[in-house]
Structure 1
Amino acid sequence: MSVYPPDGTPDPRPPLRRRLAELRGPQVPPRPLDARALAALAANPGCRRRALLDGAGVDKNRLAEALGSPAAFGQSQFAIVRGNSFEARVKADGGRELIRLLAEHRSGPALPTPVPGEVLLPDLTAVGPEGRAARTALALREATEAGAWALLDHPMLALEVAGTPAFLEPDAVVVRPDGRWTVVEIKSFPMVDGSADPAKVGAAARQSAVYVLALERIAGLVEGASVDHSVLLVCPKDFSNLPTAASVDIRRQRSVTRRQLERLTRVEELAEGLAEGTCFDPERPREELTAAVESVDAAYAPECLAACELAFHCRERARAEGSVTALGRSVRGELGALTTVAEALEAAGSHAAAGPEDPTAEALRRAARLRAEALAEAAARPGPPAAGTPAAAPDSPEDP
């Protein structure tokens, strides 16, 4: 990465990129967004903190470690090696096995299964992500015009997110003879008796929805091209290393992801609200980093623990502030204007805190009454004998 010294030399970068580089730190290269991060970002569009950090290319994992709240999730090295080995097996033989699986699970009109030698394998080699994205778009156009089966191995797709480009790399994209493009997701978790873990399938569907949105931008410029809204999920069959597949309809995930990404505040607007000199360089002192991070609003929810590197830091802050977001999005939605636990408790126990016409306060007061009645009933109910105390013997006919 080029670093422009403060010696009066004009910085040729656009103002936005220059500003984002200042937020990362002059010596810190940007961390590119991937589909997994975009899916997590779309699931929580109200979090301005994540939108800014991801848009600026900040390494949130290093940032969390510098803040003293390192992330506790991620793939093990064994899982990565196993996944790479399985993907190589699926794509062996020039991708013919993968095309066969797609032909078996196609969602469109019947198409002939290709014979050896009929699968095009475009060369996607280029310099930099921009070059690879341009080469991928050209390969998609050429394969569509050829009217043949084509397999694009790890193509590069571009998608604008919050005003900044994000470069995405799906496992594969297949071009069918009828001009339809299908995203292929290859995962290492097993598919037992034709079904897999619903949570993992859902995560793969959300990730694939991002790829579909990026492909649609290219398909709109290619005559006769269309993007399939059913992606091919390839997994190991049962507990073997043999591939099997299933077609996953991602229309709902695509609609949700598109709507959420459109709601994201543009990165330049978020950056404009920061104080001069704000920087998220992990090499800076912890106090300075904490102040910089806290200067950007967050929207923490327990679901963040499985998707964001800063989740533990945000959870600690939410608990310290007594924010109801730490209790979950559903609770936050039910409480309405009550944003802290203290406000909710006050509304539950005092008519002065909120008028009787407030449905939220009335529901809290009713819940508090029911809880008090349940506790009183439990306290009045005789409990089991204490440990070591002999139980009374049952009455006997021989007793006087």
Structure 2
Amino acid sequence: MDARALAALAANPGCRRRALLDAAGVDKAAVARVLGNPAPFGQSQFAFVRGHAFEARVKAEGCAELLRLLGAPEGTRAVLPDLSAPGPEGRLARTRLALKEATAAGRWTLLDHPLLALEVADSPVHLEPDVIAVRPDGSWTVVEVKSFPILDGSADSVKVGAAARQAAVYVLALERLGFGTPEHRVLLVCPKDFSNLPAAEFVDIRKQLSVTRRQLARLTRIEEIAASLPEGTTFDLRLADDGRTATRPPAELADAVDRLPAAYAPECLASCELSFHCREQARACGAVEVLGRGVRGELGALTTVEQVLAAALGTRDGASGDSDGEEPSRDVADHVDLGDLTDPGVAALRRAQALRAEALGCR
């Protein structure tokens, strides 16, 4: 699990499917391809190379350009401590020591790709921000270097929001260290217009911090999710059979994935490789989640499209007003009284249907 995955998971903490697959290091993109629902997004090799080249430019010549973007006086030179150490535990200890020394030194220090740790659902997660800048006053600023451009002084709001949520995870990890003062604003560095020249903007992440802190605290422990699965469940794409490795049948893999409850929402399409598979499942069972979290919240006890149509049309089966009145499925009948106009969801749908009929000249 990394900061990007944690930020996406914090935005949808009820999704046990993503929580366990990310914690287990499962390649969700490969799983989606086998299931026949690949997500048509991801970073191209060209964008990957361009991003690395841009980050190298930002950090060139002792990070002189980065210091300027941080607001350091002209001519300032920063300390760049060596953070290399054997294994993640060694890197964690080296980062912690470097932060302590830099905080007490009273000068500019830049930690290039330090390693932090954050406990999520009782499982440790290692995080690697691009840079942590320690100012002479001892405060810490997280720096995120992104390859999407700042055009005419502004960047794509969706991408900025995703970067802010990712940075919030880093700040949470810094807060857990118990010393030092991480700032609640981060420096977002991006290419200016269509050039490779760095431009930067400070982003206030207090809202993202609050939401991420609350959502991560709600996550179910990974062990509890794993314990709910039948023994022997695996998400491996290839299985050994009589000493030979064979490609796993898609139906068998789908059965394993579907044992994990998903919490699909349209927002998943921008951040989760399995989102198209989950959307197909939600559509197949008529779940109102496919209409968005806002609509789902407004509908209350109405959980399926069948229920919504029945409540709106004043029928028992969700068909037209000329329905023969056949009984709906047991799920529809058991969850809500579709004729109860005291239910806010039913009343709002009935009113909306009446307005629609009036506007279309229907009776």
TM-score by structure 2 length? 0.88
Structure number with bigger Rg: 1
Q: Give distance in 1, aligned partners of 2:109 and 2:209.
A: 24
Further displaced range: 299-308 or 69-78:
69-78
Q: Give distance in 1, aligned partners of 2:226 and 2:78.
A: 47
Partner of 2:293: 329
Q: Give distance in 2, aligned partners of 1:243 and 1:58.
A: 35
The equivalent position to 1:232 in structure 2, one of 187, 191, 212, is 187
Q: Give distance in 2, aligned partners of 1:363 and 1:193.
A: 43
Gaps of 5+ in 2: 239-247, 316-336
Shift of 1:57: 2.0
Q: Give distance in 1, aligned partners of 2:114 and 2:263.
A: 33
Shift of 1:295: 1.2
Partner of 1:274: 229
Amino acid at match of 1:195: S
Gaps of 5+ in 1: 1-32, 105-112, 380-400
Partner of 1:11: none
Deviations 1:243-282 (A, max 9, x none): 1211111111111111111111110111111111111112
The equivalent position to 1:246 in structure 2, one of 186, 190, 201, is 201
Q: Give distance in 2, aligned partners of 1:339 and 1:259.
A: 25
Q: Give distance in 2, aligned partners of 1:115 and 1:143.
A: 19
Amino acid at match of 2:19: A
Q: Give distance in 2, aligned partners of 1:199 and 1:288.
A: 36
CA RMSD of aligned residues (A): 1.7
Q: Give distance in 2, aligned partners of 1:272 and 1:151.
A: 43
Does residue 277 of structure 2 align to residue 313 of structure 1?
A: yes
Secondary structure in 1 matching 2:150: coil
Q: Give distance in 1, aligned partners of 2:339 and 2:79.
A: 68
Partner of 1:144: 103
Shift of 1:374: 2.3
Q: Is the 1:354–1:361 Cα contact (8 Å) retained in structure 2?
A: yes
Partner of 1:97: 65
Shift of 1:286: 1.8
Further displaced range: 172-181 or 60-69:
60-69
Shift of 1:114: 6.5
Partner of 2:140: 181
Q: Give distance in 1, aligned partners of 2:199 and 2:95.
A: 27
TM-score by structure 1 length? 0.80
Deviations 1:104-143 (A, max 9, x none): 6xxxxxxxx2735x41111111222232222111111111
Partner of 1:366: 351
Shift of 1:86: 1.0
Secondary structure in 1 matching 2:187: strand
Q: Give distance in 2, aligned partners of 1:214 and 1:292.
A: 33
Partner of 2:28: 60
Q: Is the 1:114–1:149 Cα contact (8 Å) retained in structure 2?
A: no
Q: Is the 1:55–1:162 Cα contact (8 Å) retained in structure 2?
A: no
Q: Give distance in 2, aligned partners of 1:193 and 1:69.
A: 37
Percent of aligned pairs with the same residue? 68
The equivalent position to 1:288 in structure 2, one of 252, 275, 284, is 252
4+ residue stretches of structure 1 with deviation over 4 A?
none
The equivalent position to 2:342 in structure 1, one of 357, 361, 380, is 357
Partner of 1:29: none
